[in-house]
Structure 1
């Protein structure tokens, strides 16, 4: 029993070590999750030495299932709100769909005793394992994103990169304005303490936009009182990765060594950090405020995007799980 506690503490220690080295890895939160689960298992093993505690644990697991179903219901209700406010598009129904998957998944776990036929049991086991795996990854993506929010960059930056996210004609949207306002606040804080940083507004022109995102972003910041001499336009990028790659090229051309941060919405900072690592940009992120009703849908979208970054790995794991069930 105490071996579980020592092992769990070992995994938690590894989390702190690897997270200090690089906080842009989902594998860090997996170490933390495994460590906490083993610690919990060890504590439960010590506690569940009499029949009363065993019954409490049994009903606790049932309560946990009901709690997950309630989360599923909340996600469905949130999805309906997002659809009402933002429109009926595929990205906007993601939280609703994920809520349905959670409810179906947990509901099926209550029916295990009624599955008699071996073939049905194998299908059931495959469903539980595969869906359980992707829910486990979702949970760890969420934990990684939350931990990344703790990033607090120092007020000694040479550059602030603001990532674009679409316009309303030639005007910034509320989502983009929140990013620009966050960059402005950091700029003013540093200006009052040391030397003001240069702000790189990054974003090209989409097919439904009248101007490049960077142009509209620059005009917005000038209206907010930021001097034009402290603004740099990067108006060629069309993706987050290009935002960061093209901004890095600009910074490399201006200075040999520099420090920088990027600004995006809070739900997007972790994935943007992954892209920063991919383009070899040593830059941390700070997150701008997002309307609370939109956060669940946004996190589900980010989860799917992170899955796609490692799609072959997850596909191989899925195939391996199916193979284990077929040949077991």
Structure 2
């Protein structure tokens, strides 16, 4: 007979408890508002970028025009044309200033070389003057032996553009389309632009004996002024 008095009871077997499910965290899908400071920083960044781009374009434009002015000043385009156009400069009681005389002498040399049958002198009368720049140029060229019927005058303009605008009245571009403009080198780029706007096929030749010497500080000052003149003239070309 089996002794059961020392038999240990078996431990009770309990099923594993079901894992407790964690509560789902609430997900907020609402858009986070952008702070006013962040908006201001973004706007400031765009404005700064725009201003920087404009400054870069402006500086590049100025440097580009300066380069074109210097290059044109050192490029002699003398050739056979219908007329030579001399840009006016200061005169003193009917006598040309050294700058104007240098321009007239260059025009005279080109005329004597047979490059054109006519010379057009330009320039009006400044306040207090007894003579116009064109009249002074006319008298000087006649003294140098140029026939009167080979000299035309535009004697109303008191600026480069005003003189150019008066040019077609004495030298219609339909009859004399190709011209050679004579002036100081720094003045040639803008002069050619203006003549082209009026319908002329323009070339240029600088006055080599002008007291405004190449590469001088004086020339640089005039070049800087020409940059402003080109920018002022741009609306005339665009509209």
Shorter-normalised TM range: 0.5 to 0.7
**What does 1:1-328 correspond to in 2, within 5 Å?**
129-149=53-73, 150-154=75-79, 156-190=80-114, 197-252=117-172, 256-289=175-208, 290-291=212-213, 292-310=216-234
CA spacing shift, 1:124–1:296, aligned 2, 3 Å: farther
CA spacing shift, 1:311–1:235, aligned 2, 3 Å: closer
Q: Which has the larger radius of gyration?
A: 2
Q: Contact conserved, 2:72 with 2:185, CA < 8 A, in 1?
A: no
CA spacing shift, 1:122–1:171, aligned 2, 3 Å: farther
Deviations 1:247-303 (A, max 9, x none): 2222229x8355321111100100111111221122222222433331110000000
CA spacing shift, 1:131–1:177, aligned 2, 3 Å: farther
Q: TM-score, normalised by structure 1?
A: 0.51
Which protein is richer in helix relative to its size? 1
**How far is the alpha carbon of 1:136 from its aligned partner?**
1.4
| Backbone CA RMSD of aligned residues | 3.0
Corresponding residue SS for 2:153:
strand
Q: TM-score, normalised by structure 2?
A: 0.67
Q: Give structure 1 stretches of 5+ with no counterpart.
A: 1-117, 313-328
Taking the aligned partners of 2:156 and 2:56, their CA distance within structure 1 comes to: 41
Corresponding residue SS for 1:307:
helix
Question: Relative contact order, CA 8 A, sep 6+: which one is greater?
Answer: 2
Deviations 1:62-108 (A, max 9, x none): xxxxxxxxxxxxxxxxxxxxxxxxxxxxxxxxxxxxxxxxxxxxxxx
Q: Give structure 2 stretches of 5+ with no counterpart.
A: 1-40
Q: Contact conserved, 2:190 with 2:230, CA < 8 A, in 1?
A: yes
The size of the alignment, in residue pairs, is 190
Taking the aligned partners of 1:259 and 1:126, their CA distance within structure 2 comes to: 43
